[in-house]
Amino acid sequence: MNIFNLSTARNKAADPLHDEARDWLVLLTSGRATVADAKALRAWCARSPEHAQAFEQAKVLWQQLGAAAEPVERPRHFGRRAFLGGALAASAAVVMVRVGVPGGFAGLTADYRTAVGEQRQVQLNEGVSLELNTQTRISRVGQGIELLEGEVEVLAQLAQPLKVQAGQGWISAAQARFNVRHTGDSVCVTCVEGALSVDASGSSVSLGRGKQLTYGPDGIGEPLAVDTQAVVAWREQVLVFNNATLATVVDEINRYRPGMLVLLNKELGQRRVQARFSLQQLAGVALLIRDAYGARCTELPGGVVLLS
């Protein structure tokens, strides 16, 4: 590699903006980045053309260092880390504080959990069975459960209502099949069969078959009619998207595959998608997005793919 080009790149990297860009790369390839981190990076790059350019330059330099390390048979990640140096040290505290499991620190003590791409069935007790989706953490609370993070389908056939806590709300059901999804600050409850009640933000709302509502810091929403088969398609190893933005699709796919897709093109992220993916397709989904939408794909270590 041209020594002058490397020297020039290092001078550019002395700028605080380039330091931040390197920090982002370190976090992305740490194996502990989250969907929220991907969204934050997208927002950071969109702050100005200078931000986007700094990240692009950091990405190019990362790749150049990897190529330069190969002739001397040095592990690729070693050369990059040697250059990143201070950025790695600065990011280490962030990575150490972040807990690489859903549910944060509370998730470490969860009674039931699933890894990335894993689904699991749990017979909680007689009359209650759980189907845990990917990256889910659940703790037992008395006779009920708390969904710390992730998604679960609950089948309750009881004389007395089962209590399910998710975020700042409670779901109660005695005879029902329902899906609860808790990601970030938002909780989405879908009644597939039977009936249940949701208590959140000082309100109590009844949900019947085929109805869904969402609650979070902004309060509780109105019940809406939904296609329940699309909601629980994950049970059949399928993801269904009806008029969703590509940004939403990418965020959802990231819950199921190792590594991470990072969508950096805001305009591309607003494209509407009508799609049905088998979970077995997700290993090559970045190429599908590239071919369908003309996105440019850049692969980084740890299964990270940048889409721009």
Structural domains of the chain, ranges and CATH numbers in brackets: 3-97 (no CATH), 104-231 (2.60.120.1440), 237-307 (3.55.50.30)
pTM summary value: 0.74
**Predicted local confidence at residue 293, as pLDDT:** 85
Distances, alpha carbon 107 to alpha carbons 110, 114, 240, in Å: 5, 11, 27
**CA count, 13 A, side-chain hemisphere, 215:** 23
**Predicted local confidence at residue 70, as pLDDT:** 44
**Predicted local confidence at residue 66, as pLDDT:** 55
Task: Say how far apart CA 61 and CA 132 lie, in whole Å.
Answer: 41
> What string of pLDDT tens digits covers the 308 residues of the chain?
443 344 444 444 457 888 888 888 888 777 777 777 888 888 898 888 888 888 888 877 776 665 444 444 333 343 344 334 434 333 333 333 333 445 454 456 799 999 999 999 999 999 999 999 999 999 999 889 999 999 999 999 999 999 999 999 999 999 999 999 999 899 999 999 999 999 999 999 999 999 999 999 999 999 999 999 999 999 999 999 999 999 999 999 999 988 889 988 888 999 999 989 899 888 888 888 888 888 888 888 778 888 98
**Predicted local confidence at residue 135, as pLDDT:** 94
Q: Is 192 left (phi over 0), alpha (psi -120 to 50) or beta?
A: alpha
The length of the chain in residues reads 308
Helices within 182-271 (DSSP H only): 228-231, 246-253, 266-269
